[in-house]
Amino acid sequence: MRAHFHKQRGAVTLIGALFIIITLALMLAVLQRMAGSDILDSAGQTGSVEALFLAESGMEHAAAIYSTGTCDVGLTTGSPVTFGSGSFSIEDIGGNFNTDFSGTALSAGECRIRVTGNVAALGAQRVIEAIFSKGGGNLLADANANFNEPVNPPPFGVCIPILCTPTGWTFNPLSFLNWPWDDLGGPGGDNRAARVRRANNGNASTTGGGSFALSAFTVTAPTTLTLDFEYKVQSSGNTSQEARFSFNLSDGTTTYPSIPPSFPSGKTASYETGSVTFDITGTGPVTITDVSFNLTVKAGQPKTAWLDNLVLQGNGGGSGVTLLQWREVVSN
């Protein structure tokens, strides 16, 4: 019996060792799982931050499009956009979101935009919404500010001044006596420009001009709008201030003239830049419905004036849009 008990000594030690080994193995498995979870959590956090940055980049992209356009499906053109390590999608706009975050109807000139940022490799997605107000930017974005011609106009498939006019423009009758636009006459010689000319010496000035019915936009009066444009004046006498440029905005009832009318000093073959302002008087919303211009060249020697690239900016100038509200969409 004693010999038998002597042979079994160390069994308890072996069991203890096995317990320690198993415990250590379990601890290692737990530590590995924890480390893996931390790595996944860290990757998820990194992906989430990247997705948020992508969504914010997409919102800036959408705002830039809106600053020169309208709040419609055109904002989603090209979406989704691959950018950096992921992509962003400009989602619902315009009629799908016509209220602010509290449910109040959007005012004219405001736009609610939703953008989703995705990092597919990390399975991360963030969704944000913003409401913008177009206080600046090109308010004539939907107008034919470059005097582009119709596509294949009748009867010859080319735009002959007597037979057709730049798309959307109505030219006053006297303009047609002086060929009111010039194909290949715009800045750089690659597009058309509005034009007035007097071909011969004379004692009377010559005037031409036209008007454009806008996609109506609303501003809050009193405010100041700025119109930038490009022009060129040529005179056989090579003297300055031989032409007069004036512009008008209208809400259908009240006309808001440019202040002051512009008397360009240019007298070379190159295009120059000009600028006038409009005081929108009164109080409250004013909806601008059309824009018009008159070009006058003075009496005397032959001369020609060109006008192109009209850009109307809000609130005294500037560009872009104003951010009114922003939020992250946690769940759909």
Domain residue limits at 298 = 169-313
The answer to whether residue 303 scores a pLDDT higher than 70 is: yes
The answer to whether residue 84 scores a pLDDT higher than 60 is: yes
CATH code, domain with 264: 2.60.120
The pLDDT of residue 212 is: 93
Long-range (24+ apart) CB contacts under 8 A made by 158-161 are 159/183
Q: 286 and 232 in one domain?
A: yes
Mean per-residue pLDDT, 195-223: 81
The pLDDT of residue 189 is: 59
The pLDDT of residue 259 is: 84
Q: Name which of 222, 190, 226 is nearest 312 in CA terms.
A: 226
Q: Report the predicted TM-score, pTM, of the whole model to 2 decimal places.
A: 0.57
E strand map for 71-205: 81-83, 86-90, 110-119, 124-133, 169-171, 181-182, 193-198
| Percent of the chain topping pLDDT 70 | 79
**CB-based contacts of 38, cutoff 8 Å, min separation 6:** none
Say how many C-beta atoms besides its own lie within 10 A of residue 205's C-beta: 15
The answer to whether residue 123 scores a pLDDT higher than 70 is: yes
Residue 144 lies in a domain: no
Name the band, by pLDDT with cuts 50, 70 and 90, for residue 318: very low
What is the DSSP secondary-structure string of 33-80? HHHHHHHHHHHHHHHHHHHHHHHHHHHHHHHHHHHTS-SSGGGGTT-S
- Over residues 138-168, the pLDDT tens digits come to 778 778 888 887 777 767 777 776 667 888 9
Structure tokens at 274: 């000009």
Q: 203 and 285 in one domain?
A: yes
Q: Which helix (H) or strand (E) holds 222?
A: strand 206-235
The pLDDT of residue 175 is: 67
Q: 296 and 183 in one domain?
A: yes
Q: Whose structure tokens read 């953008």?
A: 115
Q: Which helix (H) or strand (E) holds 250?
A: strand 243-250
Q: 274 and 173 in one domain?
A: yes
Give the separation between CA 214 and CA 169, rounded to whole angstroms.
10
Better pLDDT: 161 or 195: 195
The pLDDT of residue 78 is: 81
- Over residues 223-281, the pLDDT tens digits come to 888 888 888 888 876 667 788 889 999 999 999 999 876 666 656 667 888 888 899 99
The answer to whether residue 316 scores a pLDDT higher than 50 is: no
Name the band, by pLDDT with cuts 50, 70 and 90, for residue 197: confident
Give the separation between CA 89 and CA 79, rounded to whole angstroms.
5
Note whether 305 and 232 are within 8 A (CB): yes
Q: 129 and 234 in one domain?
A: no
Termini Cα distance of the chain: 78
The residue type of 67 is: S
Q: 241 and 116 in one domain?
A: no
Domain count, the chain: 3
CATH code, domain with 105: 3.30.1300
The pLDDT of residue 317 is: 46
Q: 50 and 36 in one domain?
A: no
Give φ, ψ of 321 to 5 degrees. -130, 165
The pLDDT of residue 147 is: 87
Q: Name which of 125, 49, 79, 111 is nearest 332 in CA terms.
A: 125
The answer to whether residue 176 scores a pLDDT higher than 70 is: no
Q: 22 and 64 in one domain?
A: no
Q: 308 and 183 in one domain?
A: yes
- Over residues 24-43, the pLDDT tens digits come to 778 877 777 776 565 555 65
Residue 180 lies in a domain: yes
Rounded to the nearest integer, the mean pLDDT of the chain is 79
Burial of 29 (0-12, 13-18, 19+ CB in 10 A): exposed
